[in-house]
A = this chain, B = another copy of it.
Amino acid sequence: MDSPAPRPGVVELLGVLSYLELRAFSELATGAELAPTMRERARMAKHAATEYAHYERLVARLESFGQDPFEAMHGFVPAIEDFHRRTAPSTWLEVLVKAYVGDGIAQDFYREVAAYVDAPTRELVTMVTESQNDELVPIVRGAIAADSTVGGRLALWGRRLVGEALTAAQRVVADNEGLGSVLVGGPQGSGADLAELGRMFARLTEAHTVRMGRLGLSA
């Protein structure tokens, strides 16, 4: 242990973020298999490798607290696995929209929770939100412009993604006392209260609507 003991809930928070990143790695890497060109495949592989690098940084932080990262991740596996199982893309455009929308929701969520953690953890969480996904926007817009039926199907897909993501997020917060306490204010916490948590989910949904609009899709 080379770091002071973390505030309550921080280990759980790093645990859920670690597994989100490890799972995002798998999702993008397997999604890359659906790419129509080698160039797009390589670009998606790069996103996957970036998520893996984020995962490694989060795990290193957990280890600096003397924590076993796999124990810290363990409780979050079912909710995150369920989310991905229920939103498995079947086309390349679904892969792209999931990468853009899913990464966007995750990054908004990271920024929200960064407010409730110690400064070094906050710095780390902010660092792993560096996005490179804006290049996906013109590809999706182009596909919609080329085929008018695409927009309707992808809009439905986006709604399903955000619905499942919010379900998973609520399940994660409800099931894990430590994580709940860091967000809604435990004994030593300066976290948000339950009403603030509701407003956070509302902000995440609003940001999602903006992102869908950027893709040319109704949310």
Q: How far is the CA of A33 from the CA of B84 in the complex (A)?
A: 13
A49, CB-defined interface residue at 8 Å: yes
Give the shortest distance, in Å, between A52 (CB) and chain B (any CB). Answer: 4
Q: How far is the CA of A77 from the CA of B35 in the complex (A)?
A: 14
A22, CB-defined interface residue at 8 Å: yes
Query: With A48-B52, A52-B49 known to touch, is A42 a contact of B29 (CB < 8 Å)?
Result: no
A32 CB contacts on chain B under 8 angstroms: 26
A11, CB-defined interface residue at 8 Å: no
Interface residues on A, range: 20 to 34
Interface contact A26-B33, CB-CB below 8 Å = yes
Instruction: Give the residue name and chain of the B residue nearest to A46 (CB).
Output: B52
A49 CB contacts on chain B under 8 angstroms: 25, 48-49, 52-53
A22-56 to B contact mask, C-beta < 8 Å, 1/0: 10011001101100011101100110110011011
A52 CB contacts on chain B under 8 angstroms: 45-46, 48-49
- Which residues of A71-119 have CB atoms within 8 Å of chain B's CB atoms? 73-74, 77
Q: How far is the CA of A149 from the CA of B38 in the complex (A)?
A: 40
Q: How far is the CA of A32 from the CA of B70 in the complex (A)?
A: 16
Give the interface of A toward B (CB within 8 A): 19, 22, 25-26, 29-30, 32-33, 37-39, 41-42, 45-46, 48-49, 52-53, 55-56, 70, 73-74, 77
Other A-B pairs, 8, CB within 8 Å; known A37-B70, A49-B49: A22-B38, A22-B42, A26-B29, A29-B30, A38-B74, A48-B48, A48-B49, A48-B52
15 residue pairs from A and B, CB less than 8 Å apart: A22-B38, A22-B45, A25-B48, A25-B49, A26-B33, A29-B29, A30-B30, A38-B74, A38-B77, A42-B55, A42-B70, A45-B52, A46-B52, A48-B49, A49-B53
